[in-house]
Copies of this chain bind each other. A is one copy, B any other.
């Protein structure tokens, strides 16, 4: 009897993480001589620790196929990292108990750099605890900060959404600028790296077209310089579209929103750069301002996913399983770019050690000299990642997304209390 497969989702979800799930599940099912049943952890590794395993045999083929066009994390995700094996050995003993109880031979963990560390820790169980588990990471993050891969599944679709709505909103602002709003600010995600802010530049149809000013997480915010440029842009174009990274930092290296949160509102999470900038610009210039904060909308916008992103999400899931079937373990599939235009790519793999807990920033030469735009190299890199459309089916005017039944396997072990 071949061993069973356990798949789980981790970290912030994306518009296409379920497409990776679809790739994993369909590929494992297509190789019944290698893989037994396919289960999913409810809410990521937490569900594994709690022995909450979703029985995918009770999901229809249609539901599994529908994951390819369904955003969010269909099995639940989590923000939780395994403890250090030295200080939390009980967590690892528990994992082995759960794996053994359900004949799990393969573990696929779908997430970002932090989640790859979890996959790596599980891989080490095989050697250190003598339980033969194949542990594989499947890449995912809208932040595009995973190492060793051309891009991270999830990024391209968020980038396509951002570039599209910035183009659309800019046309709106331009229409009204002569007698109304002169400044529009859109805040995008990206705590440390400005990849999503950079993607907004793809909206530009010519050199000077909107967004005119991009505020990157990597470039310390210089208020005086920014206001000078803002006024220049308004003098030239009649309006200015600004895209700001949620991770924008002041000259002191502190996040703008955290630094000023006591002045703004009782709120210390990230987000809120746009209203803060709006208040400042209003005070300093008197211009009429509008602002938007896309937040989760940008990372769940499956309705405008990039086809290439959906394909890469599916392919990395599928190849994770194929490489495992070939006997590999402790790796993450990566995208290799073969050519910019036409965009040609293939799936390779790297050891988890090379990606676990590593954040890949944007190269400095991707940001233009002044610090408010992207370079041609960046544009060449980004352009293919938003290509193609992959519309979901619609019903009654809205995307028809699937929902799993989510029935759990019968538990075989006593409950486990997380310490």
Residues of chain A having any CB pair with chain B under 8 Å? 9, 12-13, 15, 43-44, 46, 70-74, 76-80, 160, 163-165, 167-176, 178-180, 184, 186, 202-203, 205, 263-267, 269, 271-272, 274-276, 278-279, 282-283, 288-297, 299-304, 306, 383-384, 386-389, 391, 394, 396-399, 401, 403
B290 with A401: CB separation less than 8 A? no
Q: State A202–B70 Cα separation when bound (angstroms).
A: 18
- CB pair B265 A300 closer than 8 Å: no
**Residue from B76, B168, B278, B294 in contact with A71 in the complex, judged by beta carbons closer than 8 Å:** B168
Kindly provide the distance from the CB of A245 to the nearest chain B CB, expressed in whole angstroms.
Answer: 16
Q: A167-B399, A275-B293, A293-B293 are in contact. List 10 more A-B contacts (CB 8 A).
A: A71-B172, A72-B174, A72-B175, A168-B297, A168-B303, A265-B278, A266-B283, A267-B278, A294-B297, A304-B304
Q: How far is the CB of A19 from chain B (nearest CB, A)?
A: 14
- Residue pairs across A and B with Cβ atoms less than 8 A apart, 30 shown, are A13-B175, A43-B179, A72-B174, A72-B175, A76-B174, A76-B178, A78-B176, A78-B179, A79-B176, A80-B179, A165-B300, A168-B297, A168-B399, A171-B300, A172-B296, A184-B295, A266-B282, A267-B275, A267-B278, A267-B279, A271-B275, A271-B291, A275-B275, A291-B293, A304-B304, A383-B396, A386-B397, A386-B398, A387-B397, A389-B394
Nearest to A383 among chain B residues (CB) is B396
Q: Are A70 and B171 in contact (CB under 8 A)?
A: yes
